[in-house]
Amino acid sequence: MNIQNMILTLQKHWSGHGCILMQAYDVEKGAGTMSPYTFLRAIGPEPWNVAYVEPSRRPADGRYGENPNRLYQHHQFQVIMKPSPDNIQDLYLDSLKALGINPLEHDIRFVEDNWENPSLGCAGLGWEVWLDGMEITQFTYFQQVGGLECKPVSVEITYGIERLASYIQDKEDVFDLEWTDGFTVRDIFLQPEFEHSKYTFETSDPEMLFNLFNIYEKEAHRQMDEGLVHPAYDYVLKCSHTFNLLDARGAISVTERTGYIARCRNLARKVAKTFYEEREKLGFPILKAKEEGTHE
Amino acid sequence: MNKKDLLLEIGLEEMPARFVTNSMNQLSDKVCSWLTEMKISFEEIIAYSSPRRLAVLVKGVSTAQEDINEEAKGPAKKIALTEDGQWSKAAIGFSRGQGASVEDIFFKEINGVEYAHVNKFIKGQETAVLLPELQQIITSLTFPKNMKWADQDLRFVRPIKWLMALFGNEVIPFAITNVQTSNWTRGHRFLGEEIELNHPADYEKSLLAQYVITNPQVRKDAIRSQLEKIEEENGWVIPVDEDLLEEVNNLVEYPTALYGQFEEEFLDLPEEVLITSMKEHQRYFPVKSNDGKLLPYFVTVRNGGHENLEKVAKGNEKVLRARLADAAFFYKEDQKTDINVSLAKLKSIVYHEEIGTLAEKVDRVRELVNKLSDELSFSEEDKAVADRAAEISKFDLVTHMVYEFPELQGFMGEKYALQKGEKEAVALAVNEHYMPRNAEDKTPSGITGAVLAIAEKMDTIVSSFAIGIIPSGSQDPYALRRQATGIIQTLLAKNWNIKLENLIALALDAVQNAKIGKKTKEELLQELISFFKLRIKYLLQEKAVRYDLIDAVLGGEIGSVPSLVKRAEVLESNKNAEGFKESIEALSRVINISSKAEEKGEVDSSLFENEFEKALFNKYLSVNEELGKEVSEEAAFTLLISMKPEIDQYFEHTMVMADNQAIRTNRLNQMALLAELIMQFANMNEIIVK
């Protein structure tokens, strides 16, 4: 099964279980969780079921397109369901079957993995799902988002698309993966992988990046003061990506990281709190719509 | 008495492996103590667990509580009876309250007073009626980490999926969250089915048929014998790491061990890299040859049966190959990089915004190492080794391998340093300077590693304090407490008699010269000394030294840590000795009265008025001279308490606070001199003598 068909299969599966199919969010981010469709919508009492593909940038993982397993940018298939359905593990395993993975022929395990994204004040408990020893999915019950306790709790399922594809297509090299007929990952992504790696490790300007971080941070605070959650959050994402670039460049030490992460976290907390308040002012419209729907 | 078996099973989404065994024991302990407390007898209790279940089977549970026969005590006789010998209202009320009548009352003497009593009989309740209380036992289980799910309020280890609760063939009715008890359980996630159970005793057998080995010991033994079989068939040695086995056992309900291989070329990687990749990341057992060499194979334990083992092995091989290929890439890249190039990179790595770069930290540490090497009178060769080790101590932090496997910091430093032609002792020190890495770890084996470890940790602590990062309560993000303990342990292990205050001050000077933080030297020094005193206090508590003896040795300056610890141990071992109390009292008396001395002054023997003053002074001079030689702490203590007779005689015949001011001052001066000597050992005043 090529990647395009995998994505179509997962979209069909999860839309069949009530998920809104969204498109990727257009600001750089390190993980699907950071999309406002997850980060913001996991906050508050409103139900929320979505699935989307998220291109995720991990500057430190850039390998000039030379490493068969690592990418500057990979793809995540992200599912968020709030409140977490009781049969969520079964729904997930059914999605693997839809991808042609028969659990009886493999070793599938749920191995503890407590996920934490300190720069966003997020924490959750759950597992990495192992397929014959390979981590193919991150499965998390959010406990805290932006420093706020989750009630109800969302479940987040994140499939590593390339990982899973390398298994399904039995390929050793990520660049050999077939995206669709006649197109491999190499055809589409090799050049950007090389260029972004070179940029990240060699030609980026740490001084400019430190400046950008400060500018973005300031702007995020300024927009928050205006009560504009979404523009403010875009700048939080930019801070986070800029931090990742600096980190990959080796411009930030282990100890200093803590300080930068705290700055991102403070922003994220503020955004989360403001978002909650704004939804509350609106009377949590999605919750209201759902309750009215069921009462009729 | 009728008996039935009781079965309770909590079905869960996969629990963290590390919690399973403890949680199982906790459940069985709680059920056991509940039954005991409720006076419900039982014969045997068996605990079961797997990643998806915690269960307890109690055999031979009585169907009712024990009946209770007891005497209920009422009012005193003189209140129970009116003046004319009739039952009073109080007596009538008492007997009625106990469900009896006044005819049942008898009198019994308690402490010389007669009281009304009735025999009370409480019929035990039916066990079945009480069993729904098991609900609270389940919700009272505690886990190191709890979670919430969906819109439930309960915090539990993982979401509850089913509850099976049977007493005999009856379901015990209760619910937790939206899950109601039943007599249904679930088998292996993929191989088994949902089944109905009618007899608790069938639990183990019925679930085995559904591919779940519920008894963790049986499951573990199965894994062990499967490993042994693989060893035998292939002529391998599979060293079983018990922690890993325990973890793996709690990751599977139906284990099947299998092996896979990896390309021999990966064996060129350092063994630790291979083992870390296999164990930490994949939970594989590494495989060795009979002569202890790592072989290009690994063993994994699958949660399932023997079907499609080749496919599973192939999948696992692919994963490991990718991990090792990554590691090999890093290793190769790192080897290309010269140490000096790595060191240059440290200049652009900010260690902490307010503290400066890693390179600056290394410079401070190196300076401190050199000062300590001098103070410890290292040989020229050792000095050179310590200096070079300090200089390159952090170069591996910018290697790919350490970026990828942070737990290999220091270790990779040693490897790479050797490859790049550094002396063995230098490479070893680079590795050992992180020791002790955790509470269980050893201190550095070599002296150069030890001196570097002390200097590096001290610089971290002092620079953090300087910018206000001070551990408080549960807040210690930089593990400064562990590092301080590491310094103390290392000083002890090497028996180095450096004055801790000097060590702190040296590190402090470097930090202040670098203009880190805004606090004054005095302020920081006091904070740091109290911080270290607290760590030493904990260390002495762990050695079971009595708390007042700890306060006594910590009552003055810290000085040499090994000596301080020995002094505490001397006090601890002498605390019950004959004469200890009296000796301490004598020494304390000196310390007490010396506090009245206004300023330090010379003792003028011409002002002595009696022979006892002179005797004590002569004794002081000789003890002081002895203590000036290198004597053991035990000997020092003996010397100090040998002054007791002279001190006692002195106080018996001498009034320190004499009216004549010159005499009074002279006497106080003598007391102060003596107290100073005693305080060098311990503040005896802190010792509680009864």
pLDDT digits over B3-44, tens only? Answer: 999 999 999 999 999 999 999 999 999 999 999 999 999 999
pLDDT tens string B457-486? 999 999 999 999 999 877 788 889 999 999
The 10s digit of each residue's pLDDT in B219-276 is: 999 999 999 999 999 999 999 999 999 999 999 999 999 999 999 999 999 998 999 8
pLDDT for B295 = 96
Among the partner-chain residues B145, B147, B350, the one whose CB lies closest to the CB of A253 is B350
Please check whether residue B214 is in contact with residue B55, taking contact to mean a CB–CB distance below 8 angstroms.
yes
pLDDT band at B297, cuts 50/70/90? very high
The number of C-alpha atoms within 13 Å of B14 and in the hemisphere containing its C-beta is 29
Among A132, A155, A259, select the one facing B316 at the smallest CB separation: A132
Percent of chain A with pLDDT over 90: 81
Say how many C-beta atoms besides its own lie within 10 A of residue A47's C-beta: 18
Put simply, the answer to whether B151 touches A85 (Cβ < 8 Å) is no
The closest of B74, B128, B124, B122 to B96, measured between CA atoms, is B74
Q: What is the DSSP letter of A87?
A: T
Residues in a beta bridge with B321: none
**CATH class of the domain defined by A3-200:** alpha beta
Determine whether the interchain pair A141/B147 forms a contact, defined as Cβ–Cβ distance below 8 Å.
yes
**B329 vs A67, A152, A251: nearest CB:** A67
Hey, how many other C-beta atoms are within 10 angstroms of the C-beta on B655? 11
A84/B149 Cβ within 8 A: yes
B239/chain A closest Cα distance in angstroms? 20
B237: number of CA atoms within 13 Å, CB side? 8
**Reported confidence tier of residue B1, pLDDT bands at 50, 70, 90:** low
Nearest-Cα distance to chain B for A226, in Å, is: 30
The string of pLDDT tens digits covering residues B115-131 is 999 988 888 999 999 99
8 A C-beta contact, residue B297 and residue B320: no
Would you say the CATH fold of B350-542 matches that of B3-65+127-208?
Answer: no
Residue of A nearest to B19 (CA): A112
Mean pLDDT in chain B?
Answer: 93
Dist CA A126 CA B12 (whole Å): 12
Q: Give chain B positions within 8 Å (CB) of A133.
A: 282, 284, 300, 315-316, 319-320
Of A107, A256, A258, the CB nearest to B303: A107
Beta partners for A268? Answer: none
Q: Domain B3-65+127-208, what fold?
A: Alpha-Beta Plaits (3.30.70)
What is the CATH number that goes with domain B579-686? 1.10.730.10
Q: What is the pLDDT of residue A254?
A: 63
Contact A259/B478, CB-based, under 8 Å?
no
B chain contacts of residue A69, beta-carbon cutoff 8 Å? 322, 325-326
Residue with tokens 């973005």: A216
Q: What is the pLDDT of residues B635-654, one digit of tens each?
A: 999 999 999 999 999 999 99
- What's residue A257's pLDDT? 75
A139 to chain B, closest Cα gap in Å: 12
Q: Which ranges of B261-338 does DSSP label H, i.e. alpha helix? A: 271-275, 282, 309-336
User: Crossing angle of helices B447-466/B521-542, nearest 10°?
Assistant: 130
What is the model's pLDDT at position A121? Answer: 82
Which residues in chain B touch residue A132, judged by CB atoms under 8 angstroms apart?
Answer: 311-312, 314-316, 318-319
Top residue of B15, B312, B319 to mutate, by most chain A CBs within 10 Å, is B319
B191: closest chain A residue by CA: A104
How far is residue B150's CA from residue B534's CA, in Å, rounded to a whole number? Answer: 45
Q: Which of A108, A111, A250 sits opposite B345 (nearest CB)?
A: A250
Nearest to B348 among A133, A143, A250 (CB): A250
Q: Which residues, 6 or more positions from B319, have their beta carbon under 8 angstroms from its beta carbon?
A: A132, A133, A134, B282
Percent with pLDDT over 70 in chain A: 98
Running DSSP on this structure, what letter comes out for residue B281?
Answer: I
* Distance in Å, alpha carbon of A141 to nearest chain B alpha carbon: 7
Of B14, B149, B150, the CB nearest to A110: B14
Return the percentage of chain B with pLDDT > 70, whole number: 100
Percentage with pLDDT > 90 across chain B? 78
C-alpha–C-alpha distance, residues A235 and B167, integer Å: 60
Q: How many residues does chain B have?
A: 690
Contact criterion met (CB < 8 Å) for A134 and B319: yes
Residue A295 reports pLDDT greater than 60: no
Q: Which residues contact B432 (CB under 8 A, 6 or more apart)?
A: B410, B444, B445, B446, B449, B450, B452, B453
Confidence of residue A29 (pLDDT cuts 50, 70, 90): very high
- Residue range B340-360: average pLDDT? 88
CATH 1.10.3470 fits B350-542, yes or no: no
Q: Report residue A296's pLDDT band, with 50, 70 and 90 as the boundaries.
A: very low
Is the pLDDT at B363 greater than 80? The verdict is yes
Please tell me the total number of residues recorded for chain A in this structure: 296
Question: Phi/psi class of residue A122: alpha, beta or left (left: φ > 0; alpha: ψ in -120 to 50)?
Answer: beta
Tell me how far CA of residue B360 lies from CA of B353, B356, B366, B386, B515, in angstroms.
12, 6, 10, 18, 12
pLDDT at B356: 87
ipTM of the complex model: 0.93
CATH fold match for the domains A3-200 and A205-286: no
User: Can you tell me the mean pLDDT for B539-550?
Assistant: 93
Best A109, A116, A127, A167 member to test B by mutation, with max B CBs in 10 Å, is A109
Which chain B residues have a beta carbon less than 8 Å from that of A84?
149-150, 159
Single-letter residue type at A169: Q
For chain B, helix (H) and strand (E) counts, in that order, are 28, 17
Q: Is A85 in contact with B329 (Cβ distance < 8 A)?
A: no
Distance from CA of B340 to the nearest CA of A (A): 16
Question: B16: Cβ–Cβ under 8 A, 6 or more apart, which residues?
Answer: A112, B145, B157, B158
Higher pLDDT, B371 or B112: B371
H or E stretch at B285: strand B285-288
Q: Which residues of B touch A262 (CB under 8 A)?
A: none
Q: Which two tokens stand for residue A235?
A: 């700048």
The answer as to CATH 3.90.1150.10 being correct for domain A205-286 is no
Nearest Cβ partner of A134 from B190, B315, B355? B315
Annotated domain spans of chain A: 3-200, 205-286
The pLDDT of B597-615, averaged and rounded, is 87
DSSP-derived secondary structure letter, B109: E
Q: Contact A106/B319, CB-based, under 8 Å? A: no
Question: In chain B, what residues touch A128 (CB-CB under 8 Å)?
Answer: none
Provide the CA B431 distance to its chain's centre, in angstroms: 24
Size of interface A-B (CB pairs under 8 A): 138
Is residue A57 classed as helix, strand or coil in its secondary structure?
A: strand
Domain map of chain B by residue range? 3-65+127-208, 69-122, 216-336, 350-542, 579-686
The C-alpha atoms of residue A146 and residue A119 are separated, in whole angstroms, by 9
In which residue are the tokens 């009215």 written?
Answer: A292
Report the 10 Å Cβ neighbour count for A171.
18
* Sign of the dihedral defined by the CA atoms of residues B222, B225, B229, B231, in that order: positive
Contact between B293 and B240 under an 8 Å Cβ cutoff? The reply is no
Q: Which helix (H) or strand (E) holds A131?
A: strand A122-131
